[in-house]
């Protein structure tokens, strides 16, 4: 009796703590750009914040397909590219279009989803590793097409001069406004994801991830569920692409290379597949890490410890700390391997994945018990 | 557009195809044994090429030195690179894949991608962004004229050398004890273990052989093009993987055939005019039709030819009926839809009907492409699309026939 009471109390506390934590993170996210107005940090950080927000959106979308459905999409950046190029083509002097932003936004999402549908329809019946390769090939084809379709995309030169978005008469043209726009979109998407996760479809995705055959036997329409997850994740990428293009005012195919897809995969995997806080933390960490390391060792620490603090380091380490961007992918690649070996559920794991990855196979357990039983019986026989 | 261009394209296609085959063998062997796409294989290939070129630069190969010494140096470079690269392949397997063997399928795949990124960036950091340049003295000069086209000595060496290696590998797998162990491991690892085969050693051996072959391919590519870049391996890896899938993954002759087809397709695709490419498509259709007819029972051929699959009565068995439906190479689409709507209950028929629709869709697509090619018969595909052709082939194969041309050699557990 006492025990259950304690447990309930603990559960209640954890729930309250969770809400407090979410509230605190949201509050921090909202007031983050205000630090700039107070003069505590430079405009670079606000700019970085917008970029991080776009990548959080991307990582959340990819999480639906990797974390929830258990399929690997290595061409995710292609959908981002489709969203970005849709915006660039329909809101720039390139072809003379200028559609209103809300239409553009929907159109970017629509095109990404349409391509996701077209790609997913024939390929989702493939095995997991083949699907990864097909999506990789799709990503490369999209990039090559953008690179060579000169009449529309201007080839490697890219499309410059994308117009500022205008929402309800408000012209969005500085980093603060972009930040809040993206933040609002992230919150909307989070609500959407939470509802989807607890819906029939979310449960179907999780069932597919755990065991496809069992899920099919339980009456889940496998290809439909997979297709839906593919399309929802493409939708997020399309939205993110739209915002990214408006933010940068310029898109070119060089940005949508395979390594970017891998980077987003890294965010999801290192943060924790299937866990929303994990994925958000992963996206924030991976995007800001180079900048934070550089600033820490180039400005903040020297200001406390004196100017010659860094020069006492060996040159290789100095180079590493100053130029972390170059070593970034090296470290992330290594981190993925180590993570898969030692902590496959990610830094902030979701409960389901943790259970799945650290569970002892019940059949195996049963077998060992049976063997032990047999041995005992045999011993008894021998004694008799 | 003369005949010699065609011969030249064929020769270069075969040469490139042979190199793809060497890399593809590594993919296909690993897939056969572990059921894992070894994403790091492309990077292992690059490392092999870099090590060979570095060795040749370091040893100071020049035009002045006598030919036997030169050959000795090149052989030493090959051995040096093969040994180090095989060690690398072994350690990748030992430290990145072996701990994950019991995990869910996505974990080893992600680990392989991680290793690939790590190696690629390591090469970038160690050797820099600029491509490494193969010493000119190490590259055999001169050519044999074949029907007006120049067949480089190097190309001859590549083709002969690869053929010898592939023959040796096939003999090794078919005849020796270790090869037998490898085959047994790929069929059923647990059963092989119970038979007293050291499966861990066998898997390591697979990685060692695959990596050594990749190293040879890397040096040959560096010699053929004169340079090698840090990200060359990614592209070659994908192309070799495409070749392996095209021939049927896990299937060693399949990998070689797939690689040759891919090499030729790439060279013809950007080298020939569209009008001539269209003839290739028509040839492909005819060959496909003949191939499918070859497997039909004699009495069914007429019905299949005139798309009369629905005239079969039920006592002939619904399975044979749908088989014929599948063989209706041109009419597959129409009869597929017919069966899909007509027979709701017999799920087997419906599965085959779906396959027929896919075949029909592929044929229609092919027909439209051929038509477009004929209409623009004087144009050429821009050479920037050469890599796109590979990706397109990969997607089409995986969508329409994931088992490849010769079929997969992956015996499923019963």
Interatomic CA distance for residues B150 and B143, integer angstroms: 6
Give yes or no: residues B118 and B238 share one domain: yes
What is the pLDDT, as a whole number, of residue B302? 64
B contacts of A123 (beta carbons < 8 Å): 395, 398-399
- What confidence tier does B31 reach under pLDDT thresholds 50, 70, 90? confident
| Residue B141 domain flag | yes
Are B128 and B54 spatial neighbours (Cβ–Cβ below 8 Å)?
Answer: no
Task: From B272, B291, B323, give the residue that closes a domain.
Answer: B272
B382 contacts: CB under 8 Å, gap ≥ 6: A148, B270
**Predicted confidence (pLDDT) at residue A6 exceeds the cutoff of 70:** no
CA atoms within 13 A on the CB side of B332: 25
B contacts of A359 (beta carbons < 8 Å): none
What is the pLDDT, as a whole number, of residue B414? 37
Judged by CB atoms closer than 8 Å, whether chains meet at B105 and A129 is answered as yes
**Angle CA B265–B271–B273, to nearest 5:** 100
B106 CB burial (10 A radius; 0-12, 13-18, 19+): buried
Give yes or no: residues B44 and B167 share one domain: yes
Q: Following CA atoms B135, B140, B144, B146 in sequence, which dihedral angle do they give, to the nearest 10 degrees?
A: -60
Nearest by CB to A262, from B95, B111, B113: name it: B113
What is the pLDDT, as a whole number, of residue A83? 94
What is the pLDDT, as a whole number, of residue A132? 87
Residue among A178, A194, A208 at smallest CA distance from A280: A194
- What confidence tier does B144 reach under pLDDT thresholds 50, 70, 90? confident
- What confidence tier does A76 reach under pLDDT thresholds 50, 70, 90? very high
Give yes or no: residues B313 and B222 share one domain: no
Mutate to test the interface with A, among B391, B392, B400, B403 (most CBs of A within 10 A): B391
Of A15 and B19, which is predicted with more confidence? B19
| Residue B385 domain flag | no
What is the pLDDT, as a whole number, of residue B77? 93
User: A18 φ, ψ to 5°?
Assistant: -60, -45
| Residue B413 domain flag | no
Strands B227-228 and A91-92: unpaired
Give yes or no: residues B250 and B296 share one domain: no
Interatomic CA distance for residues B396 and B217, integer angstroms: 26
Judged by CB atoms closer than 8 Å, whether chains meet at B394 and A337 is answered as no
Mutate to test the interface with A, among B126, B398, B403 (most CBs of A within 10 A): B398
A282 contacts: CB under 8 Å, gap ≥ 6: A59, A266, A267, A268, A269, A270, A271, A272, A346, A347
At A18-75, the pLDDT tens digits run 778 888 888 888 878 777 777 777 777 888 888 899 999 999 999 999 888 888 899 9
Of A254 and A357, which is predicted with more confidence? A254
Are B127 and B46 spatial neighbours (Cβ–Cβ below 8 Å)?
Answer: no
Residue among A227, A228, A231, A235 at smallest CA distance from A188: A235
Instruction: Express as a percent the part of chain B with pLDDT over 90.
Output: 25
Interatomic CA distance for residues A246 and A47, integer angstroms: 13
**What does the DSSP 8-state code read for residue A100?**
-
Instruction: Express as a percent the part of chain A with pLDDT over 70.
Output: 88
Task: From B272, B306, B331, give the residue that closes a domain.
Answer: B272
Strands B227-228 and B132-133: antiparallel
Across chain A, which distance is largest between two alpha carbons, in Å?
96
Mutate to test the interface with B, among A137, A147, A344, A355 (most CBs of B within 10 A): A137
B contacts of A66 (beta carbons < 8 Å): 106
Q: Following CA atoms A269, A270, A274, A276 in sequence, which dihedral angle do they give, to the nearest 10 degrees?
A: -140
What pairs with residue A97 in β-bridges?
A: A92
What is the pLDDT, as a whole number, of residue B299? 63
Tokens at A235, concatenated: 């939708």
Give yes or no: residues B196 and B281 share one domain: no
| Residue B410 domain flag | no
| Three-state helix/strand/coil letters over B258-273 | HHHHHHHHHHHHHHCE
Sign (positive/negative) of CA torsion B90, B95, B101, B106?
negative
Interatomic CA distance for residues B204 and B192, integer angstroms: 15
CATH of the domain at B46: 1.10.3470
- What confidence tier does A120 reach under pLDDT thresholds 50, 70, 90? confident
Q: What integer is the mean pLDDT of B213-232?
A: 90
What is the pLDDT, as a whole number, of residue A94? 80
Tokens at A349, concatenated: 């794991």
Q: How does B24-56 read in b/e, with b if 16+ C-beta sit within 10 Å? A: bbbbbbbbbbbbbbbbbbbbbbbbbbbbbbbbb
Q: What integer is the mean pLDDT of B153-168?
A: 90
What pairs with residue B146 in β-bridges?
A: B149
**Predicted confidence (pLDDT) at residue B412 exceeds the cutoff of 50:** no
Tokens at B369, concatenated: 């492409």
Task: From B254, B272, B290, give the residue that closes a domain.
Answer: B272
- CA separation (Å) from B358 to A137, B351, B355, B362? 20, 11, 5, 6
Distance from the B116 Cα atom to the nearest Cα atom in chain A, whole angstroms:
7
Can you tell me whether residue B228 is helix, strand or coil? strand
User: B145 φ, ψ to 5°?
Assistant: -75, 125
Are B156 and B144 spatial neighbours (Cβ–Cβ below 8 Å)?
Answer: yes
Give yes or no: residues B267 and B333 share one domain: no
Smallest CA–CA distance from B93 into chain A, residue:
A337
| Residue B93 domain flag | yes
Smallest CA–CA distance from B100 into chain A, residue:
A341
Q: How many domains does chain B have?
A: 2
Give yes or no: residues B254 and B192 share one domain: yes
Judged by CB atoms closer than 8 Å, whether chains meet at B125 and A126 is answered as no
Give yes or no: residues B260 and B306 share one domain: no
Cβ of A16 under 8 Å from any chain B Cβ? no
Q: How far is CA B216 from the centre of its chain?
A: 16
Can you tell me whether residue B101 is helix, strand or coil? coil
Residue with the two structure tokens 């407090």? A20
| Residue B405 domain flag | no
- What confidence tier does B329 reach under pLDDT thresholds 50, 70, 90? very low
Give yes or no: residues B335 and B243 share one domain: no
B contacts of A130 (beta carbons < 8 Å): 245, 398, 402
| Residue B310 domain flag | yes
**Predicted confidence (pLDDT) at residue B192 exceeds the cutoff of 70:** yes
The whole-chain average pLDDT of chain B stands at 81
Residue with the two structure tokens 């934070």? A292
- What confidence tier does A264 reach under pLDDT thresholds 50, 70, 90? very high
Q: Following CA atoms B241, B242, B245, B250 in sequence, which dihedral angle do they give, to the nearest 10 degrees?
A: -20
**Predicted confidence (pLDDT) at residue B112 exceeds the cutoff of 70:** yes
Can you tell me whether residue A310 is helix, strand or coil? coil
Nearest by CB to A336, from B110, B119, B238: name it: B110
Judged by CB atoms closer than 8 Å, whether chains meet at A336 and B114 is answered as yes
**Predicted confidence (pLDDT) at residue B367 exceeds the cutoff of 90:** no
Give yes or no: residues B95 and B129 share one domain: yes
**Predicted confidence (pLDDT) at residue A235 exceeds the cutoff of 90:** yes
| Residue B215 domain flag | yes
What is the pLDDT, as a whole number, of residue A12? 67
Of B396 and B325, which is predicted with more confidence? B396
What is the pLDDT, as a whole number, of residue A359? 57
What is the pLDDT, as a whole number, of residue A362? 56
At A355-370, the pLDDT tens digits run 666 655 555 566 666 6
Mutate to test the interface with B, among A123, A139, A140 (most CBs of B within 10 A): A140
Size of interface A-B (CB pairs under 8 A): 124
B362 contacts: CB under 8 Å, gap ≥ 6: B396, B400
Nearest by CB to A133, from B37, B100, B392: name it: B37
Task: State the residue range of the domain holding B319.
Answer: 275-379
| Three-state helix/strand/coil letters over A165-229 | CEECCEECCCHHHHHHHHHHHHHHHHHHHHHHHCCHHHHHHHHHHHCHHHHHHCCCCHHHHHHHH
Q: What integer is the mean pLDDT of B203-222?
A: 93
**Predicted confidence (pLDDT) at residue B234 exceeds the cutoff of 50:** yes
Strands B132-133 and B149-152: unpaired
- The angle, 0 to 180 degrees and rounded to 10, between the axes of the packed helices A43-63 and A76-90 is 120
Are A72 and A139 spatial neighbours (Cβ–Cβ below 8 Å)?
Answer: no
Q: What is the DSSP track for B106-133?
A: HHHHHHHHHHHHHHHHHHHHHH-SSPEE
Are B158 and B224 spatial neighbours (Cβ–Cβ below 8 Å)?
Answer: yes
- What confidence tier does B297 reach under pLDDT thresholds 50, 70, 90? low
Of A362 and B93, which is predicted with more confidence? B93
Instruction: Express as a percent the part of chain B with pLDDT over 70.
Output: 80
Sign (positive/negative) of CA torsion A235, A240, A243, A249?
negative
What is the pLDDT, as a whole number, of residue A309? 66
Cβ of A126 under 8 Å from any chain B Cβ? yes
Q: What integer is the mean pLDDT of B262-287?
A: 82
Give yes or no: residues B124 and B223 share one domain: yes
Give yes or no: residues B215 and B333 share one domain: no
Cβ of A129 under 8 Å from any chain B Cβ? yes
What is the pLDDT, as a whole number, of residue B314? 43
Q: What integer is the mean pLDDT of A112-135?
A: 86
At A170-210, the pLDDT tens digits run 787 788 888 888 999 999 999 999 898 889 989 999 888 88
């Amino acid at each position: 009796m006492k025990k259950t009471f304690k447990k309930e109390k603990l559960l209640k506390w954890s729930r309250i703590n969770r809400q407090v934590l979410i509230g605190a993170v949201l509050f921090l996210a909202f007031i983050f750009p205000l630090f700039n107005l107070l003069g505590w940090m430079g405009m670079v950080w606000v700019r970085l914040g917008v970029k991080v927000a776009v990548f959080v959106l991307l990582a959340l979308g990819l999480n639906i397909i990797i974390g929830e459905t258990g399929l690997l999409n290595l061409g995710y950046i292609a959908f981002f590219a489709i969203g970005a190029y849709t915006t660039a083509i329909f809101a720039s002097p390139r072809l003379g279009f200028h559609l209103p932003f809300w239409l553009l936004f929907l159109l970017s999402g629509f095109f990404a989803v349409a391509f996701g549908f077209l790609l997913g329809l024939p390929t989702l019946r493939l095995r997991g590793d083949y699907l990864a390769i097909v999506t990789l090939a799709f990503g490369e084809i999209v990039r090559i097409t953008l690179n060579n379709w000169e009449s529309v995309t201007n080839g490697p030169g890219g499309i410059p001069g994308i117009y500022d978005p205008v929402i309800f008469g408000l012209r969005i043209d500085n980093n603060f406004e972009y930040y809040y726009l993206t933040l609002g979109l992230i919150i909307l998407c989070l609500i959407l994801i939470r509802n989807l996760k607890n819906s029939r479809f979310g449960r179907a995705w999780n069932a597919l991830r755990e065991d496809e055959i069992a899920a099919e036997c339980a009456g889940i329409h496998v290809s439909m569920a997979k297709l839906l997850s593919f399309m929802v994740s493409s939708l997020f990428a399309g939205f993110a692409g739209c915002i990214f293009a408006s933010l940068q005012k310029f898109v070119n195919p060089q940005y949508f290379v395979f390594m970017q897809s891998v980077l987003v995969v890294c965010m999801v995997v290192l943060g924790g597949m299937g866990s929303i806080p994990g994925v958000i933390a992963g996206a924030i960490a991976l995007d800001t890490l180079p900048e934070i390391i550089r600033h820490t060792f180039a400005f903040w620490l020297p200001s406390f410890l004196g100017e010659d603090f860094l020069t006492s380091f060996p040159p290789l380490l100095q180079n590493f700390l100053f130029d972390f961007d170059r070593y970034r992918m090296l470290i992330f690649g290594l981190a993925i391997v180590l993570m898969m070996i030692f902590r496959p559920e990610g830094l902030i794991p979701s409960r389901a994945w943790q259970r799945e990855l650290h569970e002892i196979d019940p059949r195996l357990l049963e077998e060992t018990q049976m063997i032990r039983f047999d041995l005992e019986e045999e011993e008894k026989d021998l004694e008799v | 557009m003369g005949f010699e261009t065609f011969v030249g394209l064929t020769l270069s296609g075969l040469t490139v195809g042979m190199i793809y085959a060497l890399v593809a063998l590594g993919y296909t062997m690993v897939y056969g044994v572990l059921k894992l796409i070894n994403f790091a294989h492309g990077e292992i290939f690059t490392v092999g090429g870099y090590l060979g070129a570095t060795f040749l630069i370091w040893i100071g190969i020049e035009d002045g030195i006598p030919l036997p010494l030169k050959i000795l140096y090149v052989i030493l470079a090959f051995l040096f690179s093969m040994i180090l690269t095989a060690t690398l392949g072994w350690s990748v397997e030992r430290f990145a894949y072996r701990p994950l063997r019991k995990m869910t399928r996505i974990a080893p795949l992600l680990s392989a991608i991680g290793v690939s990124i790590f190696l690629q960036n390591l090469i970038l950091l160690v050797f820099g962004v600029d491509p490494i340049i193969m010493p000119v003295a190490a590259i055999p000069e001169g050519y044999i004229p074949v029907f007006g086209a120049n067949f480089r000595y190097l190309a001859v060496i590549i083709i002969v050398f690869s053929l010898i290696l592939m023959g040796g590998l096939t003999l090794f797998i078919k005849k020796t004890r270790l090869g037998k162990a490898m085959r047994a491991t790929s069929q059923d690892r647990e059963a092989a273990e119970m038979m007293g085969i050291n499966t861990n050693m066998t898997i390591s051996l697979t990685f060692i052989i695959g990596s050594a072959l990749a190293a040879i391919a890397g040096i040959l590519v560096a010699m053929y093009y004169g340079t090698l870049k840090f990200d060359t391996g990614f592209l070659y890896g994908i192309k070799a993987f495409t070749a392996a899938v095209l021939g049927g993954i896990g299937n060693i002759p399949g990998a070689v055939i797939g690689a040759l087809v891919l090499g030729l397709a790439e060279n013809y695709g950007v080298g020939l005019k569209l009008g001539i490419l269209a003839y290739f498509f028509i040839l492909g259709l005819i060959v496909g039709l003949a191939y499918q007819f070859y497997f039909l029972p004699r009495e069914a051929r007429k019905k299949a030819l005139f798309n009369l699959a629905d005239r079969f009565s039920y006592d002939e068995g619904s399975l044979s009926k749908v088989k014929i439906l599948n063989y209706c190479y041109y009419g597959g689409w129409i009869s597929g839809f017919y069966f899909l709507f007509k027979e709701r209950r017999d799920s087997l028929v419906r599965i085959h009907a779906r396959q027929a629709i896919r075949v029909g869709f592929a044929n229609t697509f092919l027909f439209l492409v051929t038509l477009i090619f004929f209409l623009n018969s004087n144009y050429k595909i821009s050479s920037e699309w050469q890599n796109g052709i590979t990706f397109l082939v990969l997607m089409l194969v995986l969508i329409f026939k994931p088992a490849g041309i010769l079929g997969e050699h992956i015996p499923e557990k019963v």
